[in-house]
Every structure is written in structure tokens, then in C-alpha cells.
Chain A
Amino acid sequence: MDQVNPHKAGITLLLLAILGSVPAAAQIELSGVWSNQLHEDFPDRLAGPELGDYTGIPLNNAARLRAEAWDASLITLPEYQCRVHPSDYAPSFADIRIWEEYDKDTQALLAIHIHHFAWGTERTIWMDGRPHPPDYAGHTSMGFSTGKWDGDILTVTTDHLKEGWIRRNGVPRSDRAVVTEHFIRHENGLTWVTVINDPPYLTEPMIRSRDYVWSVAGQIAPYPCESVEEIVRPKDAIPHHLPGTNTFLKEYQKNHGVLEQGAMGGAETLYPEFRQKVIAAGDLGGKAPGPLQ
């Protein structure tokens, strides 16, 4: 048996100890219960968006038409009552728990899991480099997600999503969407940026951010859901508005003094040039333009 040099062995152990505590790919710890901060887009989130409010959404005409046909009574149907918020919309609500899953032997990070209080949904972000499923595989509300570290930012790509919504007033998001998310930790804060690419219904990516605060004693309550028969209807009755019959669409504009062009959304309305264009066209109806948000 070869002699072991105690000096060299000590250095090796020291290096191993240092290397063992350094993340392999600049990953940072995201585990824990995170408390949802609702200050951003509050009316859209807990209170819920108003009908006919498509502001800030780069939607196309087809999406707008679908939203105009949407009737909130849809969610009285038993099969819709427990329909969960899809993974690209769930961050708008309530607290989450994040935990990591490691390979016991190699201590390689296999996956990051997220449990949403809202609807009790759980998603997995695969970190082991596995490929996404083929086109012909099924879709889910959470989709199929893979992640990688960009420095200290976790970047996640999700596809295989079921049809969902951009805003829960009928603005659709198709099952062909590909969502990119960025999880950015700032000490006890977490910013979660969602970028939705959905060519069938969006002309540009829809980008939004949500903020969370780490909760030292956080608990997530269960979220059971049971459907009940609220209204007896024939099987083939789906609540919706026929074209041109939705009388609620203008309420948002009237109640908040928002111009129709702005309320109807679209990529053009997201940029400062739109404001100048409206002013130049004299479309403000004598009102002074409000401050840029």
C-alpha cells in the first residue's frame, strides 16, 4: 500500500470541502414557502379583471373575439368549476412552496417542484437535461417544464400546455404556447417573470412579473374543490355571448375613462408611441392624457 502524504491529503480534503459547498452551475436556493405579493396588477388578480379590459395584452383580433364571446357563467358548469389556473397564470395568486429533488448518490439536482396554494396544483421543472415530449404527447394545465441556470437566474421553458387564459375575463391562451420563465432571487425576495409566446392569439410575447417574499414560518393550506350542479342545463348548452350581443364590454371603458382603443389592447397599445398617436389624432375627447404607468 502506498504511503499517504498527510500534507497533500489535507489540501485535497480542504479542496473537496470547498468544492462541495460551491454550486456546480451558480444555482441558488429557491426552496421554501414564498408569500405572494399582490401589489402589482392588483385589480387584475385578487379582485379579478373586468369584462372588456384587454389593456396591456398584445392580443390579436381572434383572441379579442373569443374574449368578447366569453360569459362568466361558463364557470357555473360543473366541469369548469374546478378548472385550475394554468402554470403561466397561477403565479398571480396565493403562496407557493418550492422544493428541490436531488439524486441521492450524485447530489445532482434532478428537479425543482412548485406547489401552488391556488387549486393545489403542482408542477415539476426538470433540471436533468431531459428532452421535452414529442408533439403527439398529451398536454396538461401545468405543461412540461425544463430549467437551466443563467448565472443566478433560473430560466424555465414550458410547453405541452393545455389551453388556458392570459386574463380570466375570456382572453385565451392556446395549447401551442411556449412559456419562458425567469426566477430571480434577491435575498428574501423572489421575482418571477413570465413570457408567453402564443402566435395563435398573441402578436408579441406577453410579459408579466410577480413578486414573492420568503416566509420563515410559511404553511400552505389544502385546496380541495368539488363541483356542484349550480344551474340545470341541457348537455349541449355552453354559456357565451353571440357576436355583437355582449352588453358588458363598454363598462370598463366608462367606469375608468379608458379609451376604447386602449381597452381593446393589442401590441400597438403597449408602446409610448400609441399615446402620442392618440393625442395627435385628438381621440382623447378633450381629456388630458393621464400619466404614463
Chain B
Amino acid sequence: MRRGKVAIMKTAFGAIAAAAVLATAWAQNRAQQDFSKVEIHVLPLRDNMYMLTGAGGNITVQTGKDGVLLVDTEYAQLSDKILAELRKLSKEPLRYIINTHYHADHTSGNENLRKAGNTIAGGNVAGDLGAEASEGAAIIAHNNVLERMSMTQGSQPAAPQGGWPTSTYLSGKKKLWVNGEGVEVIHPEHAHTDGDSIVFFRRNDVISTGDIFTMTSYPIIDLNGGGSYQGLLDAVNQILDLTDTVYGQDGGTLIVPGHGRLCDTGDLLNYREMVTIIRDRMVDMIKKDMTLEQVKAAKPTADYDPLYGTSTGFWTTDAFVEAAYKSLSQTVKQKK
């Protein structure tokens, strides 16, 4: 479904929880950062693909004769630095931005970067918008990203309209053909949020996971944003179904996580192991009618805390356990 600004204004917003703790947390995180000191690093992935790292979520870049495709856009304050790096990688225009979800550390650069690009318009792409349709790069996301970005989230105002998705999809998958390869944008339901997209570059065998998979913290389950623990685990398994290895758990598909270093199947398997084992422990405790405080005291994450845990920042180990407890309690209740 392609939407222009006029159509966006007519969107009937669904019933979305007013509080958005994570949206607020990311905004606070952004406010505390000194972006002048942030460097954007470029890591080559394949011939025409790169991973960019900075202060927010990782960016995946695909280049080619059709133009530049980005997965996520980091913080707006870093847009100039990101554009400078993109210009080193390709002289072609920025055509597509795909958002893996709505959080500001992945989307707040949308507006700036979109303005730096343009869309090949005409046919049904232009629709009623005419010449306006070619202004800026297309921003592709699941429809729930548009809904969440265009409304107030807790104490946070809606994202600037210029950064909203311009092309959304509603069902399980959207397919593109860009720079000589099929790009699948796959929606797992209720994982990190309710608007996640996994982006699979088929020829390059590269997958951008968004925050379904992060290397820097326990899984971030945005309950107010429609996420769920079991949904996130299902999404991880969905990603694993797309991957191949060369031998054992090494090589093959490259995986760009939402945060942290470049990964492959073996890394994702380790992550899945952690997510699954902690789920099983917590479900066992919930079935024994343990309260949240009792679960916290039992330290179900203790063995993984050196890798994923933290007591500072917005996504502490406690915050993860609380979200997991709340989400898995619902899962247990539904299965009864």
C-alpha cells in the first residue's frame, strides 16, 4: 500500500496504548548524547552492501545502479555524518529507506535522509500526488510503524511528519527488486514491537533484524509498542529459517543486528538459546505462581548477565525481567 501525505492524514489510527515508555526512554537517551563526538563507522558486508554503526541502531546499506537503499536511519543529529559516508559509497541517489520498527534510535534520521533522496515516480507510484511523489526517498515500513510515529507516545510528541513512512504494508511480507536482487521485508507479529520488519537481501544473503536481535542487551520487549516475549522468540526462529551456514555455525548468511557487532547464524543461535532458556525458566516460575519479586530474587538470568545484563540505562536486567514476566504471564494464561 503506497501512501502520500494526503492519504496519511486520512489514516484511521487504531487503538494504541497511550503510554510508550520505550519511546520516552529513547528520547531521553538521545537528549543525553553528545552527537558531535559520535563517529559513523562503515563495515563492508558484500560487494555492494555495508553496515554503518554510530550511536543508535545499526544501518544496513545496499548500493547499485537503482540507487541507495537504507535499512533504518539512526538519530537525526547524525544524518549529515551518515550522508557523508553514503556519498563515499555511492554517487547514486538515495531511493529507499526501510524502517525495521518505529523507535527513534532507528527512525529519527528518516526526515533528513529522505529529503536527501528521491523516488522514481510515475504510474501508480505517483497517484494523486503528481510531482510531489518524487520528492524524497520512499520510506517503507509496516503500517503499525506509521501509526506509532504519527501519534503521541506517552510524553513524546509524534515524530515529524516528514519522517513518517510513505509506503506501508499490512500483511506478512512486502517484496522489492532493487539493485539486481530480491529484497523481502518480512513482518513477524508482536515481536520487539507490533511493527517489526526483518529485511532479507536474497542475493547478498544479508539479513537486517532490527531490534528483534541485539548484541548489546537482553531482548528489548516493547510491551506498550505491541511487542511480546514469545513473539520475539518466534521471530528469532523465523530469521534462523532464512539463514544458511558454510560449515557448522560459521559463515554464510550475514546478520546485521539492531545493535552491536556484525553477526551470523552461530551468533543468532546463541541468542536464541539464551532467549529460550530464560523463557523456560520464567514460565516454570510463573506456573508455580511466583510473584515478580520472587522471580527477580530467583535471578533467572544470572548466568547470562555478564553478557547481556546491566543495572544502568533504560533497559536494565530488571526492566527485562519485568517485561518478560508480564508478557509470559499472558502467554501462560492464554494456554491454560
Cβ of B303 under 8 Å from chain A = yes
Cβ of B254 under 8 Å from chain A = yes
Which residues from chain B contact A199 at a C-beta distance below 8 Å?
306
Which residues from chain B contact A139 at a C-beta distance below 8 Å?
261, 263, 267
Residue in A63, A65, A83, A237 whose beta carbon sits within 8 Å of that of B266 in the complex = A83
Knowing A136-B43, A140-B250, A236-B276 are in contact, say whether A79-B306 is a contact too (CB < 8 A): no
Cβ of A82 under 8 Å from chain B = yes
- CB-CB contacts below 8 Å: A208-254 with B: 225, 235-238, 240, 242-243
Q: Is the CB of A83 within 8 A of B303?
A: no
In angstroms, Cα B263 to Cα A65, docked, is 25
Cβ of B270 under 8 Å from chain A = yes
Which residues from chain A contact B262 at a C-beta distance below 8 Å?
136-138
In angstroms, Cα B269 to Cα A121, docked, is 20
Q: Is the CB of A235 within 8 A of B237?
A: yes
Knowing A136-B51, A136-B53, A139-B267 are in contact, say whether A238-B249 is a contact too (CB < 8 A): no
Closest residue of B by beta carbon distance from A135: B261
Closest residue of B by beta carbon distance from A172: B303
In angstroms, Cα B250 to Cα A115, docked, is 16
Q: Is the CB of B305 within 8 A of A62?
A: yes
Q: Is the CB of B247 within 8 A of A225?
A: yes
Could you say which of B99-107, B148-156, B277-285, B314-322 contacts chain A? B277-285
Cβ of A120 under 8 Å from chain B = yes
Knowing A82-B247, A136-B43, A138-B263 are in contact, say whether A63-B276 is a contact too (CB < 8 A): no
Residue in B51, B263, B277, B302 whose beta carbon sits within 8 Å of that of A61 in the complex = B302
Which residues from chain B contact A189 at a C-beta distance below 8 Å?
none
Which residues from chain A contact B306 at a C-beta distance below 8 Å?
60, 62, 174, 199-201
In angstroms, Cα B204 to Cα A269, docked, is 50
Cβ of A141 under 8 Å from chain B = yes
- CB-CB contacts below 8 Å: A58-95 with B: 60-63, 65-66, 69, 79-80, 82-84
In angstroms, Cα B233 to Cα A175, docked, is 22
Q: Is the CB of A200 within 8 A of B276?
A: no
The proximity string for B residues 41-57 relative to A, scoring 1 for CB distances below 8 Å and 0 otherwise, is 10100000001010000
Closest residue of B by beta carbon distance from A237: B276
Q: Is the CB of A236 within 8 A of B233?
A: yes
Q: Is the CB of B303 within 8 A of A65?
A: yes
Minimum CB–CB distance for B254 against chain A, Å: 7
In angstroms, Cα B269 to Cα A241, docked, is 18
Q: Is the CB of A62 within 8 A of B254?
A: no
Minimum CB–CB distance for A94 against chain B, Å: 16
Residue in B233, B237, B276, B303 whose beta carbon sits within 8 Å of that of A62 in the complex = B303
Which residues from chain A contact B284 at a C-beta distance below 8 Å?
242
Q: Is the CB of B248 within 8 A of A84?
A: yes
Minimum CB–CB distance for B55 against chain A, Å: 13
In angstroms, Cα B90 to Cα A28, docked, is 47
Which residues from chain A contact B279 at a C-beta distance below 8 Å?
236
Minimum CB–CB distance for A228 against chain B, Å: 15
In angstroms, Cα B278 to Cα A246, docked, is 16
Closest residue of A by beta carbon distance from B273: A238
Q: Is the CB of A243 within 8 A of B281?
A: yes
Cβ of B272 under 8 Å from chain A = yes
Which residues from chain B contact A134 at a C-beta distance below 8 Å?
41, 43
Q: Is the CB of A238 within 8 A of B281?
A: no
Cβ of B264 under 8 Å from chain A = yes
In angstroms, Cα B262 to Cα A107, docked, is 35
Q: Is the CB of A242 within 8 A of B281?
A: yes
In angstroms, Cα B281 to Cα A69, docked, is 10
Closest residue of A by beta carbon distance from B240: A79
Cβ of A40 under 8 Å from chain B = no
Q: List 5 A-B contacts (CB under 8 A).
A: A136-B262, A137-B261, A141-B250, A174-B307, A225-B247
Q: Which residue numbers of A lie inside 8 Å of B, CB to CB?
A: 60-63, 65-66, 69, 79-80, 82-84, 119-121, 134-141, 162-163, 174-176, 199-201, 225, 235-238, 240, 242-243
Q: Which residue numbers of B lie inside 8 Å of A, CB to CB?
A: 41, 43, 51, 53, 233-234, 237, 240, 247-251, 254, 260-267, 269-270, 272-273, 276-277, 279-281, 284, 298, 300, 302-307
